[in-house]
Amino acid sequence: MRRYSAFAIAREAARYHTGWERAWRSPAPKSDYEVIVIGAGGHGLATAYYLGKNHGITNVAILEKGWLGGGNTGRNTTIIRSNYLQDPSAAIYEKARSLYETLSQDLNYNVMFSPRGVLMLAQTQHEIRGYQRTAHANAIQGVKTEWIGPQKVKEICPIMNIHGPRYPVLGGLWQARGGTARHDAVAWGYARACSDMGMDIIQQCEVTGVEQKGGVVTGVQTTKGRIGTKKLAIVVAGHSGVLADMAGFRLPIESVALQALVSEPIKPCMDIVVMANTVHGYMSQSDKGEMVIGGGADGYNNYTQRGSFHHVEETVRALVETFPIISRLKMLRWWGGIVDMTGDRSPILSKTPLGNCFINCGWGTGGFKAIPGSGWGMAELVAKGEPGPLTAEFGLDRFTQGRFIDESVAAGVAH
Amino acid sequence: MLILECPYCGVKADETELHGGGEAHLKRYGPGSSDADFEGYLFHRKNPKGVHFERWRHVNGCGKWFHAARCTATLEVFGTYPAQVTAPPKALINKIKKKRPDWEGWT
Ligand SMILES: Cc1cc2nc3c(=O)[nH]c(=O)nc-3n(C[C@H](O)[C@H](O)[C@H](O)COP(=O)(O)OP(=O)(O)OC[C@H]3O[C@@H](n4cnc5c(N)ncnc54)[C@H](O)[C@@H]3O)c2cc1C
Ligand SMILES: [Zn+2]
């Protein structure tokens, strides 16, 4: 792989850009692999990357039914933060956030990580108590966050109306090193690095069956034929239930639509990410100037990758009180993704009833921020067959044991 | 927009008038059951990409719970029926079978 650098740009400029190579190969599948990862979203690709980088396993195929990054990874609003309440969450999300800090250098690919700061608004007394509690928890966990008052809020986000009639801003939980990254670039950067290690990324290849013998997986049926494997990692987000059904087990997961939209581009007016959980909306401004807006998930099982108009209207209506400046903006694009929701709003990184099959899912509305940490932990689980410290608490057995990692209260809104 | 007919009032209500209640006809397990059965009842869901039987409540109407059969891949609604049953009506199952010959059926 030729590395990207200022020198490479100069070299290519001098020869009319004829020397750029493809970022990843598109090979035909081999008959067998050591590990097959199903799903070339951020989590699947990161799993493969750290399998190679941390564990030396490179005989890996990543199978993708559409195009890589075309699932939720390419549809999300890219908020990155690690200010969670429970210790296991803080550990994996902070691992991810800290890996994001140096991911561009690590992958030699600009993922445009922008630690512009994430502010979660408190607009009720209940939220003040909740976020102050989270700030204390974060201090103990070593995650740097801070409780700030309404005046400080106004200072760091001048376009905000802190005296709204229904929900005045009473303060907020501020994580200065939270922010955003470019979603496609995260998928592309990992894909390029995986391909460079000799892994096969096979797009337009849908898994249609999981082949097993005596309680272990022996291969998968796909639209490109049968492919054998020694280990299987299922990392398919909204389609986890479908794959689990193929493999013969059930999951504590329901798939629902989550929507987002962007406005027409305007001049820079907001250089942080703001989340308003009481009114169910959040907003940031993209580098192109669009206001990126998201809200809560739709209320019923859905695989259509589109949501309902009234839901989007609710989100925007709620944000207009706090950000009057957006009231006359036109909507430019609007889309949906299918997210995999667990009851405790925490992910699953787990062994399964099949000995050599592992699953990574349940990231729901908030897994973009977790991609590097999740891949790191999942790779360890797949390589060793046992969870390491990052993933130990996120097994499926927590539902049998009633040992939840309850983040549903801490994050009232999709993110 | 999703539109379901409330089987009690006969009103064709859109989703702003309704509240989804998740998978229908779950078999309840309580004290005395195995851990696996209890976990399954509480948490495991079919979550199919296709025909789904589910509970809905006509919140901004008569307030009552009812059932609906719906396709989660196309949002097609096959029908609604009252809450006081533990399995979908035969007629509805036959109607869905006719439309979806590949459907594995109600289990
Ligand atoms: C509108 C929206 C906004 C969001 N905002 C945020 C946010 O601000 N911050 C944040 O942290 N998170 C956010 N999320 C959540 C985040 O996008 C997801 O948690 C994360 O991207 C999941 O990544 P993944 O790799 O697990 O799944 P995906 O990116 O969905 O990848 C799964 C892949 O599996 C493939 N697949 C499925 N079935 C098969 C099969 N049978 N065979 C082969 N391949 C298959 C799919 O095609 C897909 O490409 C948002 C999500 C949405 C929808
Ligand atoms: Zn009614």
The tens digit of pLDDT for each residue in A190-237 reads 999 999 999 999 999 999 999 999 999 999 999 999 999 999 999 999
Tell me which chain A residue has its CA closest to the CA of residue B17: A310
Instruction: Return the pLDDT at A270.
Output: 97
Q: Which helix (H) or strand (E) covers residue A255, if one does?
A: strand A253-263
Residue A404: how many other CB atoms lie within 10 Å: 16
Residue A1: inside a domain: no
Whether residue A338 is found in the same domain as residue A195: no
CA atoms within 13 A on the CB side of B31: 0
Q: How many domains is chain A partitioned into structurally?
A: 2
Number of the ligand closest to the Cα of B18: 2
Q: Evaluate if residue A414 carries a pLDDT over 60.
A: no
> Do residues A247 and A129 both lie within one domain?
no
Where is the domain boundary, A307, A342, A377?
A342
Interface predicted TM-score (ipTM)? 0.95
Residue A412 has pLDDT above 80, yes or no: no
Q: Are residues A38 and A150 in the same domain?
A: no
**Chains A and B: how many Cβ contacts under 8 Å?**
68
Same domain, A318 and A276: yes
Looking at A298, A317, A342, the residue that finishes a domain is: A342
Residue tagged 């089987």 (tokens):
B7
Map residue A154 onto helix, strand or coil. helix
- A310 CB neighbours in chain B (<8 A) are 1, 14-16
8 Å CB contact between A38 and A243: yes
Q: B52 lies in a domain? A: yes
Ligand 1 atom, smallest distance to A44 CA: 25
Question: Contact A251/A390 with Cβ under 8 angstroms?
Answer: no
pLDDT tens, position by position, A120-141: 999 999 999 999 999 999 999 9
| Ligand whose nearest atom lies closest to the CA of A203 | 1
Question: CB-based contact (8 Å) between B20 and chain A?
Answer: yes
Please give the single-letter amino acid code of residue A166: R
What is the domain range of residue A222?
Answer: 31-82+84-109+183-253+344-401
Cβ <8 Å between A303 and B73: yes
Rounded to a whole number of angstroms, the CA Rg of chain B reads: 15
User: What's the pLDDT at A408?
Assistant: 76
Closest by CA position to B11, among listed B51, B66, B54: B66
Question: Is residue A7 in a domain?
Answer: no
> Quick one: pLDDT band at residue B107, thresholds 50, 70, 90?
confident
Which of A342, A365, A388 is the endpoint of a domain? A342
Cβ contact A241–B36 (<8 Å): no
Contacts of B39 in chain A (CB under 8 A): 399-400
Percent of chain A surpassing pLDDT 90: 91
Point out which residues pair with A284 in neighbouring strands: A292
**A371 domain residue, yes or no:** yes
Contact: B40, A239; criterion CB under 8 Å: no
In this structure, are A98 and A132 located in the same domain? no
Interface check B57 vs A, CB under 8 A: no
The 3-state secondary structure of A396-409 reads CHHHHHCCCCCCCC
Residues B15-36 pLDDT 10s: 999 999 999 999 999 999 999 9
| A273 close to A263: Cβ distance less than 8 angstroms | no
Residue B94 lies in a domain: yes
Q: Summarize pLDDT for A284-338 with one digit per residue, the tens.
A: 999 999 999 998 888 999 999 887 888 889 899 889 999 999 999 999 999 999 9
CATH code: domain of residue B57: 3.30.2270.10
| Mean pLDDT, rounded, for A150-163 | 97
Q: Structure tokens of A397?
A: 């057995």
Q: Give the range of the structural domain holding residue B93, as residue numbers without chain letter.
A: 3-99
- Cβ atoms of A190 and A49 closer than 8 Å: yes
**pLDDT tier for residue A413 given thresholds of 50, 70 and 90:** low
